[in-house]
Amino acid sequence: MDQIRGQDLKQAFTVATAYLEEYRDTVNALNVFPVPDGDTGTNMLLTMRSAVQSVTEGCPDGQEHSVARVSSALAQGAFFGAKGNSGVILSQFFKGFSDALAGKESLAADDLSLAFKLASNAAYQSVGNPVEGTMLTVIRMASEAVQGSAAQGSNENVLGLWEAAFQASQDALSHTPEQLPVLREAGVVDAGGLGIVVLIGGALQSLAPLVDISALSRFQRAANGSATGLIAPGFLESTLEQDWGNCTQFIISGPDLDLDAVRTRFQETALSTVVVGDGHNIRVHIHVENTGPALAYAESQGALSDIKIENMDYQNQLFASRHQANPAKGAALALLPVTLGAGLAHLFRESGCAAVIQGGQTMNPSVQQILDAVHSTGANDIIVLPNNANVILAAEQAAASEPCIHVVPTKSIPQGVAALLVFNPEESWEENVDAMTAALAEVASVEVTRAVRDANINGVSVTEGQFIGLLEGQMVTAAETPEIALRIALDQAGLSAEAIVTIYHGAGTPISDAESVAASLNHDFPGIQVDLIDGGQPNYQYLASVE
């Protein structure tokens, strides 16, 4: 084949996506780098599905389409559907591919050489500190093989070049443990690198069905061993000793964005940085201890969307538990809360919870996520604290599927903390559920957040952008500052000098602002006990309880 048409390219990556779906669990089993912030195989598959869907909508079947149009649709779909570090890097692979094919009707050997070159360049540029032995290396080695073969004139056939890329990607993947100590220690090849090999091989199989890509199976066999617990125990133990922070993703949109400035800012402040896009849309994937400053800066640049924050310490617990060959039997009874925010997660874990389920308002965990967390504890019985009204149903559905799960229907973080304080692992789950449920009536819950639209609720008028105070889930006030909203809501909770007030300040909320509220309470109610805790929760400037 001398040239590839648009429909051929579309079909090639559609088939490649099907291969990636087949290998998803295999890729997931290798997910050990850079941190377990989501399953690599799943993230790459979701990114590819978005890319293929974009092509399906923009380049319908039954019509002839240029490779320029097809590759542009792939790049756009991958950008907006990118999941995780691997997905964002993959989206840049397609951006480089698209840039090389701009204005092209079909793809010839020289075009493929340039496409792989720009794809590699874009992938490397997207990462703040590129590390060899990762999917970046696999992409680069495939690119260099194509360019070298084309430059030497040893292969002017586009399929021959694609096959050279496939062979080089396999070789590069095999050597990733030699380049990256974490892979060598774990005894696996790079997960994202395998995803790239599968995609290149799957596309090749579509373009040239007679080409043998069965060599992929050797990586699958090796990864299946890892999935059953062959990752080195010492590596698993070392990951549990580290603080991973929060995996934070979002898109910044605006009329005149400065990609280089945004990338530089996050390279200077984040633990891991992947920033890609253009002057209108920038996708950010970073790892940070405190999400507040990152989100505040991003919001100053433009409108935010597709925000996703995940606690990687919790993910790492699941990661380690999934790779244990013979997990030790857990405690008789475990407590499992749902929460968002590094401070709140730390509070629950340090107070004896077996793990923390990442989720809450705007990020409700699925039934499967709850079940995964339950299984990770290894306990005979598990009490789940939903800590959000929207999570209770999913928790109860999980409980209906497994009799070891029991739900105390906490509707807020303050209720969850109240339940936590009476938890006694030495007693039966029945006694604990009764005591914890009774404790919910002893606490009043207050929440402060920003209104996203105009409304009139319970006689309270609020305009978009104001701060609203909620008492037991009901809006009771709207104010210009979160501190005023908090104080009014607390007053309506029935304060007295004998009350115990706990205030959890959220991500981006200065401790000094919370202290000003505490000072006003101490002044107005001499003898009152006010505790301040750094909750780190997104979306809510304050959470508070009154006992």
> Is pLDDT larger for residue 225 or for residue 46?
46
Residues 45 and 183 in one domain: yes
Domain containing residue 522: CATH number:
3.30.1180
**pTM for the whole structure:** 0.54
Tell me, yes or no, whether 43 lies in a domain: yes
Q: Which helix (H) or strand (E) element contains residue 145? A: helix 135-152
- Structurally, how many domains does the chain consist of? 4
Question: Which of 240, 265, 291 is the C-terminal boundary of a domain?
Answer: 240
pLDDT at 322 over 60: no
Residues 232 and 367 in one domain: no
Report the alpha-carbon distance of residue 518 to residue 240 in Å, rounded.
Answer: 36
Q: What is the pLDDT of residue 254?
A: 93
429-481 per-position pLDDT tens digit: 999 999 999 999 889 999 999 887 788 887 889 898 999 999 988 899 999 99
33-59 per-position pLDDT tens digit: 434 344 788 889 989 999 999 999 888
Tell me, yes or no, whether 127 lies in a domain: yes
Cβ neighbours, 10 Å, residue 283: 21
Residues 186 and 108 in one domain: yes
Instruction: State the pLDDT confidence band at 142, using cuts at 50, 70 and 90.
Output: very high
Residues 490 and 413 in one domain: no
Residues 533 and 454 in one domain: yes
Residues 423 and 536 in one domain: no
Tell me, yes or no, whether 150 lies in a domain: yes
Question: Which of 416, 441, 466 is the C-terminal boundary of a domain?
Answer: 441
237-256 per-position pLDDT tens digit: 444 445 556 778 899 999 99
Report CA-CA distances (Å) from 343 to 413, 506, 507.
12, 9, 9
Tell me, yes or no, whether 284 lies in a domain: yes
Domain containing residue 374: CATH number:
3.40.50.510
Residues 389 and 531 in one domain: no
Question: Which of 422, 441, 460 is the C-terminal boundary of a domain?
Answer: 441
Percent pLDDT > 90 in the chain is 49
- Which amino acid, 169? S
Q: What is the pLDDT of residue 316?
A: 55
Report the alpha-carbon distance of residue 348 to residue 243 in Å, rounded.
Answer: 16
Tell me, yes or no, whether 1 lies in a domain: no
Hey, what are 529's tokens?
């006990």
Task: Decide if 123 contacts 153 (C-beta within 8 A).
Answer: no
Domain containing residue 268: CATH number:
3.30.70
Q: In what order do the strands lie in the sheet with 405-407?
A: 357-358, 333-339, 381-385, 405-407
Residues 154 and 57 in one domain: yes
Residues 376 and 493 in one domain: no
Tell me, yes or no, whether 334 lies in a domain: yes
Tell me, yes or no, whether 323 lies in a domain: no
Rank 23-32, 269-278, 369-378, 395-404 by mean pLDDT and report only the highest: 395-404
81-132 per-position pLDDT tens digit: 888 778 888 999 999 999 999 999 999 999 999 999 999 999 998 887 788 9
Residues 235 and 250 in one domain: no
φ, ψ (nearest 5 deg) of residue 276: -140, 165
Domain with 504 in it: 444-546
Residues 146 and 196 in one domain: yes
Residues 399 and 292 in one domain: no
Q: Which helix (H) or strand (E) element contains residue 100? A: helix 84-100
Across the chain, mean pLDDT equals: 85
Q: What is the pLDDT of residue 23?
A: 86
Tell me, yes or no, whether 270 lies in a domain: yes
Report how far Cα 166 is from the mean position of its chain's Cα atoms: 29
